[in-house]
């Protein structure tokens, strides 16, 4: 049971969150400029690293914020990522 | 009866009667089943797993491998350790895995056949024929106790707890650590497995701070329990250490009378592991015979329970511990026949203790055989050149100590082999786990207390920036004899079975065989021989397995390493794990204000997605489902129906960019939707497949109200919120879920207008109120929003009302509709109406593979928009072309044919060159309106195959059908617009 | 390879079992092989076995970074079945069942294939519809999948004791008679022994740290035991697919997530069939030959390589187990563990060429134990012939760029 | 036998959901003549209404049901034309009061968050049982109020009974 640092609510159990995938997966600004392969890479592929991954988490049961953390997929150590201003 | 006249914590004034294996015995309050059996001279407590050898108690604690019983008198529980069962009046228990009895077990024939059952023999035979045939017999023989047959009546709860410090184990080290940590103001929780605190001080008389150990325990614990910042639980086992310092524990005797057990989720900032150590057996032929017991266990039975396990004891050791127990044996009146010490050079201090009590010591001595099967007559041993036999009825042995590093390892901590203590002790730390005392391989009381003090001070004391705890110093204690051990393995040529895993009957020969066959990893040896896989999970035996493997391989024990420690530390009942969630609590059943009315009015209920339950249909007495659905559907088509649409998701979207957002979310346009109007929208996933559909209204220029499918609502909300917060952060839109705020009731059918017309209202239902318009106003004084939306294909008014007024309005509508035959309809009927109309359902026709063109919904896809979710994938689909499954209609030749959802489609004979699987029926029904069977289906290249014939192949029926357009009723939609 | 049989055991018993030979050698790696398989689990060892047996390629090494069979092969719940939804899945999984039922004899190693049958409880009309769709598709490919009434379910599972106020009442079930339990370790050991006997080098404690290539074609692997040249390299590393594939810069449509399993203490036989509660993504349980109740549920909800799971999964599955087997409340959890699944986006196996010539991948899909023999056989075919086996034609990576996925799992909206 | 706790459904409350950035917040503050709570877990409690901080741009105004209409209109009019969202969510939620010496013994079965960290007058949102809840601490240790999505109200009612130790 992970303890996730929500930037607003503080430390909470993983059960309050949704792990929402790798943060470097960004929707291409102009999808039509992408080749089929590049588009498939965006849609389906992951880096899926063994080690630290920057990922989105959604505090769905709390403040409903989406935020990023750096999480080690082996040790489960977590480091918060400073929020960029909106 | 071998019970001392005094001593122990048993209450001799309170005798308890109990039954063991059908025989009546007596023990006392304060006994465990095991201690009562010892006191009653019951030697054989069970049979072993494979050879069915008779077994006696080996230990006194939760690590007991032999004394497994079925506790008949308390819910018929299997595989409980007799050492952990408190004695109760009328307790009844039986040995597991023996037949007809523990004393005389027919399966002991296995013992004779043992040469045919070496480790791994299953893998090498029974290849001919079916394993099922053989396994039937093998399964009967396996399995220890039997599963209870009655429902578990116990009640449980699961709680969350947060603490600064968790201390596992209330032995001297745990108590001392609690004292320091709580003294500095931290919240402290202490868990201890036993009924009373004190750890090994409960069993062994020691001095701390110049007083009796037991007095020190009661004074310190008493003070600690009075502190506000201390939570103290006895009879509570920490079973696993999980991520981020979450420890799970089971409280076996909650104070709350209604609870059987409580499961704790404890989140701690720091965890002190003070779980102590357990004694390890020595390996020698016959080491499993009843009457062979661990030395520390024997001492515990004597000290705590005044139960004496034998009259003449022989002590066998490779370390110093038993020397300190000689006095215990002596004062219990046991004749000590001598000490056989494997070591060549016991220490002066050890020999001094022995000579003080006139106990002869043979050094460099090795047991080569134990005489007696069901009880011991004597022991043969080798010392120097000669072989000797000594008479005894009890062998007490000690192979050293295993630190209980389970929790430390669960946390991810490494273990390392320490030569001096011949034990795997905590190595590199993971998480905030701090082992102290025996769990850390510190077996000396004095050093353990000091270690606990030092660790606690460094974590919680002044040096860690906390206020002084006032207890910076360790209490004074002295050890009778310093711990020394020399691991000496048995000779390879020894005859007779020497066990390393008692429960799974794994012997030294099995380990050697595994290594010989090239199973060299310790994990391989474990799996091939099953050593360490029994109910005790290798707590006492695993280090011996590692030692033997290292000897066979000629490698260091450190490089052989341990197998992975898997939670739980001790078995946990599934009842406790399930907590209080039973029946309706395991999944919430979400309700609407109308749910209760629906149930009262006879609805058969079904799951509607997102944990809502909704009416399936409303059977009248003596009506079949088909009858009821036909009646409900006919009402909608000819007069008036009503249903509760509240479970649909409803989201309010506000902000200047809402139109733009909707343009990107849906395949069609929404920025040009006029205020006061609604529009049907189709949402795709980014991979181009159908996701959701629904009607969205524009309430104000910057405020839209979106509705979406019940089951998809959560996913749609997440989808939109993600895009707003992570991708399109520049869009000014707020998303607010108002799904439960509004109840939605759909009045549908040609007489719907008449029904609403009966009510007092400021809403005009005249022809200017067009399809997909909405109007705000009141019905009978209740604030409502009425919208012209239709999911049935008929004239339909969707009345939205705040939850607080919903039931009232529903009843008003039912009353008003009475004269028009208003009929509540269920989801099965809605399904029929949908199929007739050919309305596509993402959950059915979508099937995770369908794009809007496949579904014949190209009309709602605006490919001229610069971008929308799914557009890029659609472009790819269009470009690549090729065979796709399209939504089609099917009309079976036999108009009454029974067609089940999910039926497969095959080419009709001679229809074309196609062969094999062609698709499947996504939804089929008998249409009461058309008086025939109709179906929607996904069919390969279906749009090109209208007029062709296919076979509908179901599990029970098959029929031939013609492929048609997927719409069977009012194709132009005149009725719903009317 | 000396054949195993009841007679060989009896013969060896006479000499105190001191003369059994090694089940496989522990050779040092050669400098070069025709084929190197990365991953000494069931898939990798099986592929090596089929390369040798069916394609005559015996100059093969299987490289295992730990001990063979120590990955998912030794961590699963031992269930093999073929109840799948899609026309491209069912025949592949059927082939796997066929192979499982004959492998003990072929390998001369008892895999203990116990044909218990699997019953999936139907607890909603939506589940009923999916069961029917599956059953009908399976029938076309000759796989039996039968609907059961509630009474038939009760007859088959006498201890099934549904509570009267069950949250999701059981309406009936759907039954695959041929679903079986297989002794998982034996699959790795049996393949290893048979492959070794045909000349395959099985090299344990040998971790691949890099893959060498020239002009877009693979030439060898760098390992903790030195460089090993190879004309072709096959990857069968359940739980580490992305890690190894990244060595040639290949990104994969997978995430690695823990799948937990746990067992109760052993008890006498109470449950013959494999039972699935709350339909296809629910809780499954069965009783092993040893008597343990083996239980599992869906994956943990986030990627991890930690080989341990989150406890709420066990709690959740326990509530659904107690719902239908309330007497299990006093049974006890003995041990729980996790394997790491490489879960493809569509939940179906990937057996494919890659952008690097001579580098092939086998990614197991939603739990690869059931597919072990079929994946091994078709993977060997792909490596040997550089063209897919007919039953694995649709399982290539091309399906992702063309969008023709083989959807077997639920798909979340935000991925 | 059960825990010493009284559970009841809350009635006659109104909830107005506010979403908006700093400029519109200032308008709302002016309208209500109160400084909004800006830190996590904080609330401002007045006699007529309270304002609960739920996120950096998210508040609830809680008041009596009779004030719902009037307050809604004042709040929405004060930001008309600005980018903000004012929504009546009274009916979307159902409130419960959990009061008594053992209140924490009941709530800790459902909340996994650290109840120790919340003082009287504070509020938060978190996972509760198998849904989520907004929690308001009336009197720490003794008196709590929770709001759940209304479709879960029957489930939560039953859940609370079981958690108290009752058989249902």
Report pLDDT digits (tens) over B525-534: 999 999 999 8
Query: Token pair 């008014």 is at which residue?
Result: B797
Query: A64 vs B867: CB contact, 8 Å cut-off?
Result: no
pLDDT at B214 over 60: yes
DSSP state of B413: -
Query: Token pair 């005094």 is at which residue?
Result: B6
Q: How many Cβ atoms from other residues are within 10 Å of residue C172's Cβ?
A: 20
If pLDDT is split at 50, 70 and 90, which confidence band does B911 have? low
Q: Please report the pLDDT score of residue B471 as a whole number.
A: 62
Q: Which H, E and C letters describe B579-636, residue by residue?
A: CCCCHHHCCCCECCCCHHHHHHCCCEEEEEECCEEEEEECCCCCCCHHHHHHHHHHHH
Determine, yes or no, domain membership for A71: yes
Quote the longest CA-to-CA distance of chain A: 42
Measured CA to CA, the distance from residue D71 to residue D62 in angstroms comes to 10
For C148, which residue in chain B has the nearest alpha carbon? Answer: B955
Show me where the domains of chain D are located.
6-10+92-164, 13-91
Contact criterion met (CB below 8 Å) for A73 and A51: yes
Token pair of C84 as six digits: 């799948």
Contact criterion met (CB below 8 Å) for B366 and B286: no
Q: Are B285 and B225 found together in one domain? A: no
B interface test, pick of C264, C265, C300, C404 with most B CB neighbours within 10 Å? C265
What would the pLDDT profile of B490-503 be if each residue is shown by its tens digit? 988 778 899 999 99
- Per the DSSP assignment, residues forming a β-bridge with B380 are B369, B389
Tell me the three state secondary structure of residue A36: helix
Query: Token pair 């007739």 is at which residue?
Result: B836
Cα dihedral C405/C410/C413/C414 (nearest 10): -90
If pLDDT is split at 50, 70 and 90, which confidence band does B469 have? low
pLDDT at A85 over 50: no
Q: Which H, E and C letters describe B157-226, residue by residue?
A: EEEEEEEEEEEECCCHHHHHHHHHHHHCCCCEEEECCCCCCCHHHHCCCCEECCEEHHHHHHHHHHHHHH
Of the candidate CATH numbers 3.30.70.1520, 1.20.1250.10, 3.40.50.10890, 3.30.40.10, the domain formed by D13-91 belongs to: 3.30.70.1520
Establish how many alpha carbons lie within 13 A of residue C74's alpha carbon, considering only the half-sphere containing its beta carbon. Answer: 18
If pLDDT is split at 50, 70 and 90, which confidence band does B143 have? confident
pLDDT at C412 over 60: no
Residue D117 sits at the vertex; the CA angle it makes with D115 and D122, to the nearest 5 degrees, is 90
Query: B162 vs D114: CB contact, 8 Å cut-off?
Result: yes
Determine, yes or no, domain membership for A37: no
pLDDT at C281 over 70: no
Domain containing residue A15: 3-27+42-80
What mean pLDDT comes out for the span B578-590?
94
Contact criterion met (CB below 8 Å) for C365 and C283: no
Tell me the three state secondary structure of residue B141: helix
Contact criterion met (CB below 8 Å) for B137 and D89: no
Phi, psi at B195, each rounded to 5°: -65, -30
Q: Are B460 and B492 found together in one domain? A: no
Query: Using a CB-CB distance cutoff of 8 angstroms, which residues of chain B are in contact with residue A21?
Result: none
Strands (E), C3-122: 32-38, 60-63, 79-80, 118-122
Tell me the three state secondary structure of residue B135: helix
What would the pLDDT profile of D111-140 be if each residue is shown by its tens digit? 999 999 999 999 999 999 999 999 999 999
Peptide bond into B100 cis (omega under 30): yes
Cα–Cα distance list, D140 to B186, C58, D135 (Å): 19, 73, 11
Q: Please report the pLDDT score of residue C364 as a whole number.
A: 85
C interface test, pick of B120, B134, B143 with most C CB neighbours within 10 Å? B143
- DSSP tally for chain B: helices H, then strands E: 24, 50
If pLDDT is split at 50, 70 and 90, which confidence band does C415 have? very low
Query: A75 vs B412: CB contact, 8 Å cut-off?
Result: yes
If pLDDT is split at 50, 70 and 90, which confidence band does B909 have? confident
What would the pLDDT profile of D23-43 be if each residue is shown by its tens digit? 999 999 999 999 999 999 999
Residue in C12, C403, C407 nearest the CB of B877: C403
Which residues neighbour C329 within 8 Å (Cβ) at sequence distance 6 or greater?
B148, B151, B152, B154, B573, B574, B575, B578, C322
Establish how many alpha carbons lie within 13 A of residue A20's alpha carbon, considering only the half-sphere containing its beta carbon. Answer: 27
Return the closest-CA partner of residue B529 out of B515, B517, B543, B511. B511
What mean pLDDT comes out for the span B208-227?
96
Tell me the three state secondary structure of residue B551: helix
Return the closest-CA partner of residue C187 out of C5, C42, C379, C76. C42
Domains and CATH numbers, chain C: 24-78+184-252+346-397 (3.50.50.60), 118-177+256-344 (3.30.9.10)
What mean pLDDT comes out for the span B911-935?
93
Query: B575 vs C329: CB contact, 8 Å cut-off?
Result: yes
D26 interfacial to chain B (CB closer than 8 Å): no
Cα–Cα distance list, C187 to C76, C99, C113, C202 (Å): 12, 12, 10, 15
Token pair of C327 as six digits: 């007497």
Q: Please report the pLDDT score of residue B104 as a whole number.
A: 75
Measured CA to CA, the distance from residue B565 to residue B406 in angstroms comes to 6
Least-confidence region, from B182-186, B534-538, B806-810 = B534-538
Which residues neighbour B321 within 8 Å (Cβ) at sequence distance 6 or greater?
B279, B295, B296, B398, B400, B401, B483
Q: Are B374 and B248 found together in one domain? A: no
Query: Using a CB-CB distance cutoff of 8 angstroms, which residues of chain A are in contact with residue C306?
Result: 73-76
Name the neighbours of A, counting chains with at least 3 Cβ pairs within 8 A. Answer: B, C, D
Antiparallel, parallel or unpaired: β B885-892 and B932-940: antiparallel
Query: Token pair 């109709």 is at which residue?
Result: B934
Domain-ending residue, one of B374, B399, B424: B399
Q: Are B388 and B531 found together in one domain? A: no
Q: Are B531 and B543 found together in one domain? A: yes
Tally of domains in chain B = 7
Peptide bond into B568 cis (omega under 30): yes
What mean pLDDT comes out for the span B272-283?
97
Measured CA to CA, the distance from residue C128 to residue B915 in angstroms comes to 27
Helix, strand, coil % over all residues of chain A, rounded to 5: 15, 35, 45
What mean pLDDT comes out for the span A55-74?
97
What mean pLDDT comes out for the span B595-619?
95
Q: Are B759 and B628 found together in one domain? A: no
Domain containing residue B243: 156-278+403-464
Query: Using a CB-CB distance cutoff of 8 angstroms, which residues of chain C are in contact with residue B149?
Result: 159, 327
Tally of domains in chain A = 1
Query: Using a CB-CB distance cutoff of 8 angstroms, which residues of chain B are in contact with residue A12?
Result: none
Residue in B161, B652, B802 nearest the CB of D87: B652
B interface test, pick of A57, A64, A69 with most B CB neighbours within 10 Å? A64
Which residues neighbour D118 within 8 Å (Cβ) at sequence distance 6 or greater?
D41, D124, D135, D137, D140
Q: Are B269 and B293 found together in one domain? A: no
- DSSP tally for chain D: helices H, then strands E: 4, 10
What would the pLDDT profile of B830-845 be if each residue is shown by its tens digit? 999 999 999 999 999 9
Token pair of B899 as six digits: 């067609």
Contact criterion met (CB below 8 Å) for B439 and B271: no
Query: C291 vs B123: CB contact, 8 Å cut-off?
Result: no
Strands (E), C59-197: 60-63, 79-80, 118-122, 146-149, 172-176, 180-181
pLDDT at B88 over 60: yes
Query: B687 vs A39: CB contact, 8 Å cut-off?
Result: no
Query: Using a CB-CB distance cutoff of 8 angstroms, which residues of chain D are in contact with residue A65?
Result: 55
Fold of the CATH domain D6-10+92-164: Gyrase A; domain 2 (3.30.1360)
Tell me the three state secondary structure of residue B688: coil
Determine, yes or no, domain membership for B845: no
D3 interfacial to chain B (CB closer than 8 Å): yes
Contact criterion met (CB below 8 Å) for B432 and B247: no
Which is more confidently placed, B110 or B692? B692
Q: Please report the pLDDT score of residue B470 as a whole number.
A: 65
pLDDT at C280 over 60: no
- DSSP tally for chain C: helices H, then strands E: 10, 18
- How much is the ipTM here? 0.97
Cα–Cα distance list, D119 to A5, B878, D43, D103, D135 (Å): 20, 60, 11, 14, 12
pLDDT at B625 over 50: yes
Residue B867 sits at the vertex; the CA angle it makes with B861 and B871, to the nearest 5 degrees, is 50
Query: B242 vs A43: CB contact, 8 Å cut-off?
Result: no
Q: Please report the pLDDT score of residue C409 as a whole number.
A: 67
User: pTM for this structure?
Assistant: 0.96
Determine, yes or no, domain membership for B848: no
What mean pLDDT comes out for the span A8-13?
98
Query: C305 vs A45: CB contact, 8 Å cut-off?
Result: no
Determine the distance in angstroms separating the CA of A3 from the nearest CA of chain C, rounded to an integer.
11
| Surface of C (307-336) touching A: CB under 8 A | 310-312
Determine, yes or no, domain membership for A21: yes
If pLDDT is split at 50, 70 and 90, which confidence band does B113 have? confident
- Residue A53: CATH number of its domain: 3.30.2270.10
Measured CA to CA, the distance from residue B270 to residue B273 in angstroms comes to 10
Measured CA to CA, the distance from residue B213 to residue A76 in angstroms comes to 42
Contact criterion met (CB below 8 Å) for B596 and B613: no
Determine, yes or no, domain membership for B864: no
Chain pair B-D, CB pairs under 8 angstroms: 106
Q: Are B413 and B496 found together in one domain? A: no
A31 interfacial to chain C (CB closer than 8 Å): no
Query: C251 vs A46: CB contact, 8 Å cut-off?
Result: yes
Measured CA to CA, the distance from residue D142 to residue D76 in angstroms comes to 36
Determine the distance in angstroms separating the CA of B370 from the nearest CA of chain C, rounded to an integer.
21
H helix or E strand, kind and range, residue B890: strand B885-892
Q: Are B624 and B705 found together in one domain? A: no
Q: Are B265 and B333 found together in one domain? A: no
pLDDT at C26 over 90: yes
Query: B580 vs D87: CB contact, 8 Å cut-off?
Result: no
Mean pLDDT of chain B: 94
- Residue B700: CATH number of its domain: 3.30.1360.120
What would the pLDDT profile of B333-379 be if each residue is shown by its tens digit? 999 999 999 999 999 999 999 999 999 999 999 999 999 988 899 99
- Residue B546: CATH number of its domain: 1.10.10
Contact criterion met (CB below 8 Å) for B278 and B61: yes
Q: Are B910 and B790 found together in one domain? A: no
Which residues neighbour C344 within 8 Å (Cβ) at sequence distance 6 or greater?
C252, C253, C254, C350, C363, C365, C366
């Amino acid at each position: 049971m992970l303890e996730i640092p929500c930037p607003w609510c503080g430390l909470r159990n993983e059960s309050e969150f949704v792990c929402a995938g790798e943060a470097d997966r960004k929707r291409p600004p102009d999808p039509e400029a992408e080749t089929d392969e590049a588009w498939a890479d965006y849609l389906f592929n992951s880096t899926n690293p063994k080690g630290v991954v920057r990922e989105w988490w959604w505090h769905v049961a709390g403040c409903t914020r989406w935020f990023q953390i750096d999480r080690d997929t082996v040790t489960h150590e977590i480091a918060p990522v400073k929020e960029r201003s909106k | 009866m071998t019970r001392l006249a005094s001593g122990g914590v048993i209450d001799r004034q309170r005798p308890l009667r109990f039954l063991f294996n059908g025989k009546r015995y007596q023990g006392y309050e304060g006994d465990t089943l095991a201690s009562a059996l010892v006191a009653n001279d019951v030697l054989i407590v069970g049979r072993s797993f494979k050879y069915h050898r008779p077994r006696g108690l080996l230990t006194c604690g939760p690590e007991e491998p032999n004394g497994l019983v079925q506790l008949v008198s308390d819910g018929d529980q299997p595989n409980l350790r007799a050492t952990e069962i408190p004695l109760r009046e009328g307790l009844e228990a039986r040995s597991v895995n023996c037949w007809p009895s523990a004393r005389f077990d027919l399966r002991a024939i296995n013992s004779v056949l043992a040469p045919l059952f070496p480790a791994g023999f299953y893998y090498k035979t029974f290849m001919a024929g079916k394993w099922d045939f053989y396994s039937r017999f093998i399964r009967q023989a396996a399995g220890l106790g039997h599963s209870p047959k009655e429902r578990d009546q116990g009640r449980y709860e699961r709680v969350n707890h947060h603490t600064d410090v968790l201390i596992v184990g209330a032995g001297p080290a745990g108590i001392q650590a609690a004292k320091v940590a709580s003294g500095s103001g931290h919240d402290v929780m202490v868990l201890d497995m036993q009924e009373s605190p004190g750890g090994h001080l409960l069993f062994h008389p020691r001095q701390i701070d110049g007083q009796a150990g037991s007095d020190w325990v009661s004074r310190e614990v008493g003070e600690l329990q009075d502190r506000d910042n201390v939570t103290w639980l006895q009879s509570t086992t920490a079973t696993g250490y999980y991520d981020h310092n979450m420890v799970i524990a089971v409280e076996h005797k909650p104070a709350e009378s209604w609870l059987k057990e409580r499961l704790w989720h404890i989140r701690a900032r720091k965890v002190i592991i003070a779980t102590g150590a357990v004694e390890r057996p020595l390996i020698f032929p016959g080491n499993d015979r009843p009457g062979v017991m661990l030395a520390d266990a024997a001492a515990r039975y004597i000290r705590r329970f005044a139960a004496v396990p034998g009259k003449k004891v022989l002590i066998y050791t490779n370390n110093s511990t038993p020397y300190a127990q000689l006095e215990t044996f002596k004062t219990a009146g046991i004749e000590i026949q001598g000490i056989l010490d494997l070591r060549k050079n016991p220490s002066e201090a050890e020999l001094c203790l022995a000579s003080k009590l006139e106990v002869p010591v043979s050094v460099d001595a090795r047991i080569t055989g134990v005489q007696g099967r069901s009880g011991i007559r004597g022991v043969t041993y080798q010392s120097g050149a000669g072989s000797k036999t000594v008479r005894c009825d009890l062998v007490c042995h000690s192979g050293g100590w295993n630190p209980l590093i389970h929790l430390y390892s669960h946390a991810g901590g490494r273990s390392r082999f320490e030569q001096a203590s011949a034990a795997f002790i905590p190595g590199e730390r993971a998480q905030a786990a701090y082992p102290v005392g025996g769990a850390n391989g510190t077996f000396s009381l004095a050093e353990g207390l000091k270690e606990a003090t030092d660790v606690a001070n460094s974590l919680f004391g002044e040096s860690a920036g906390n206020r002084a705890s006032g207890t910076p110093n360790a209490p004074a204690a002295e050890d009778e004899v310093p711990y020394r051990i020399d691991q000496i393995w048995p000779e390879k040529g020894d005859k007779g079975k020497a066990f390393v895993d008692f429960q799974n009957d794994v012997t030294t020969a099995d380990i050697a065989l595994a290594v010989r066959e090239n199973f060299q990893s310790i994990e391989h040896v474990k799996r091939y021989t099953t050593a360490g896989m029994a109910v005790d999970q290798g707590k006492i035996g695993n280090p011996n397995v590692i030692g033997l493997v290292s000897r066979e391989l000629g490698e260091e024990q450190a490089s052989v390493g341990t197998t992975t420690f898997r939670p739980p530390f001790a078995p946990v009942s599934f009842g406790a794990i399930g907590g209080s969630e039973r029946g309706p609590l395991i999944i919430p059943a979400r309700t609407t204000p109308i749910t209760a009315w629906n149930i009262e009015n006879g609805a058969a209920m079904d799951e509607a997605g997102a944990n809502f339950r909704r009416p399936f249909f409303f059977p009248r007495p003596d009506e079949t489902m088909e009858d009821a659905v036909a009646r409900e559907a006919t009402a909608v088509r000819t007069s008036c129906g009503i249903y509760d649409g509240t479970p649909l998701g409803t989201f309010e979207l506000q902000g200047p960019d809402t139109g733009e957002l909707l343009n990107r979310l849906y395949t069609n346009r929404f920025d040009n939707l006029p205020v006061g109007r609604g529009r049907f929208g189709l949402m795709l996933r980014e991979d181009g497949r159908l996701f959701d559909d629904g009607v969205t209204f524009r309430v104000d220029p910057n405020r839209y109200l979106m509705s979406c499918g019940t089951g998809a609502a959560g996913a749609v909300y997440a989808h939109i919120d993600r895009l707003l917060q992570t991708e399109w952060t520049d869009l000014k839109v707020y998303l607010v879920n108002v799904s439960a705020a509004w109840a939605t009731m759909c009045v549908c059918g040609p007489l719907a207008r008449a029904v609403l017309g009966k009510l007092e209202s400021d809403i005009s239902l005249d022809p200017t109120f067009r399809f997909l318009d909405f109007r705000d106003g009141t019905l009978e004084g209740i604030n409502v929003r009425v919208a012209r939306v239709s999911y049935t294909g008929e004239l339909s008014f969707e009345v939205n009302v705040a939850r607080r007024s919903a039931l009232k309005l529903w009843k008003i509508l039912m009353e008003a509709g009475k004269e028009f035959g208003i009929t509540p309809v269920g989801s099965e009927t809605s399904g029929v109406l949908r199929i007739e109309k050919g309305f596509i359902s993402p959950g059915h026709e979508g099937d995770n593979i369908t794009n809007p063109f496949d579904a014949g919904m190209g009309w709602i896809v605006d490919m001229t928009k610069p971008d929308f979710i799914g557009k890029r994938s659609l472009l790819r689909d269009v470009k690549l072309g090729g065979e796709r499954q399209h939504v089609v209609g099917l009309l079976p030749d036999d108009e009454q044919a029974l067609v089940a959802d999910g039926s497969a489609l095959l080419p009709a004979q001679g229809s074309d060159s196609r062969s094999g699987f062609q698709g499947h029926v996504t939804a089929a029904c008998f249409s009461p309106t058309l008086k025939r069977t109709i179906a929607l289906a996904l069919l390969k290249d279906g749009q090109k195959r209208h007029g062709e014939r296919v076979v509908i192949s179901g599990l029970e029926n098959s029929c031939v059908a013609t492929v048609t357009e997927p719409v069977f009723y009012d194709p132009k939609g005149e009725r719903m617009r009317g | 390879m000396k054949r195993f049989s009841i007679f060989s055991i009896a013969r060896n018993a006479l000499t105190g079992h001191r003369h059994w030979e090694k089940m496989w050698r522990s050779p040092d790696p050669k400098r070069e092989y025709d084929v190197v398989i990365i991953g000494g689990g069931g898939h990798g060892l099986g592929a090596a076995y089929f390369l040798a047996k069916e394609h005559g390629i015996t100059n093969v090494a299987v490289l295992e970074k730990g001990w063979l069979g120590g990955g998912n092969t030794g961590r699963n719940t031992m269930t093999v079945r073929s109840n799948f939804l899609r026309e491209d899945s069912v025949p592949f999984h059927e082939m796997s069942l066929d192979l499982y039922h004959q492998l003990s004899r072929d390998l001369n190693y008892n895999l203990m294939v116990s044909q218990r049958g699997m019953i999936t409880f139907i607890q909603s009309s939506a589940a009923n519809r999916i069961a029917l769709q599956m059953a009908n598709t399976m029938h076309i490919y000759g796989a039996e999948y039968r609907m059961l009434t509630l009474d038939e379910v009760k007859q088959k599972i006498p201890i099934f004791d549904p509570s009267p106020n069950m949250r999701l009442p059981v309406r009936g079930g759907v039954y695959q008679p041929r679903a079986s339990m297989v002794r998982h370790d034996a699959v790795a050991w049996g393949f290893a022994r048979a492959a070794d006997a045909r000349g395959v080098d099985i090299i344990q404690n040998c971790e691949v740290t890099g893959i060498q290539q020239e002009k877009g074609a693979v030439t060898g692997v760098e390992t903790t035991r030195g460089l090993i040249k190879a004309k072709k390299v096959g990857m069968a590393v359940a739980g580490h697919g992305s890690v190894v594939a990244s060595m040639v810069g290949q990104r994969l449509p997978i995430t690695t997530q823990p799948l937990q399993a746990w067992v109760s203490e052993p008890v006498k036989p109470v449950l013959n069939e494999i039972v699935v509660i709350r339909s296809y993504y629910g809780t499954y349980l069965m009783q092993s030959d040893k008597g343990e109740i083996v239980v599992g549920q869906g994956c943990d909800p986030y990627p991890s390589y930690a080989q341990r799971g989150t406890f709420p999964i066990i709690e959740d599955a326990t509530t659904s187990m107690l719902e239908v087997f309330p007497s299990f409340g006093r049974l006890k959890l003995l041990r729980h563990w996790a394997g790491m699944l490489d879960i493809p986006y569509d939940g179906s196996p990937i057996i494919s060429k890659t952008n690097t010539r001579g580098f092939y991948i086998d990614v197991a899909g939603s739990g690869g134990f059931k597919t072990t023999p079929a994946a091994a056989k078709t993977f060997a075919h792909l490596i040997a012939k550089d063209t897919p086996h007919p039953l694995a034609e649709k399982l290539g990576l091309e399906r992702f760029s063309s969008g023709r996925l083989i959807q077997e799992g639920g798909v979340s909206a935000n991925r | 036998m059960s825990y010493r706790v009284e559970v009841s459904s809350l009635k006659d409350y109104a909830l107005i959901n506010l979403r908006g950035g700093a400029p519109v917040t200032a308008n709302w503050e002016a309208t209500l003549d109160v400084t909004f709570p800006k830190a996590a877990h904080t609330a401002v409690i007045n006699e007529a209404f309270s304002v609960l901080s739920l996120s950096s741009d998210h508040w609830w105004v809680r008041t009596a049901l009779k004030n719902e209409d009037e307050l809604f209109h004042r709040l929405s009019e004060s930001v008309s034309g600005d980018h903000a969202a004012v929504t009546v969510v009274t009916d979307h939620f159902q409130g419960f009061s959990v009061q008594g010496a053992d209140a924490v013994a009941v709530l800790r079965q459902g909340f996994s968050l650290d109840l120790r960290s919340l003082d009287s007058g504070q509020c938060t949102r978190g996972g509760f049982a198998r849904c989520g809840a907004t929690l308001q601490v009336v009197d720490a240790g003794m008196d709590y109020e929770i709001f759940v999505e209304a479709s879960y109200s029957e489930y939560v009612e039953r859940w609370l009974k079981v958690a108290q130790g009752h058989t249902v």
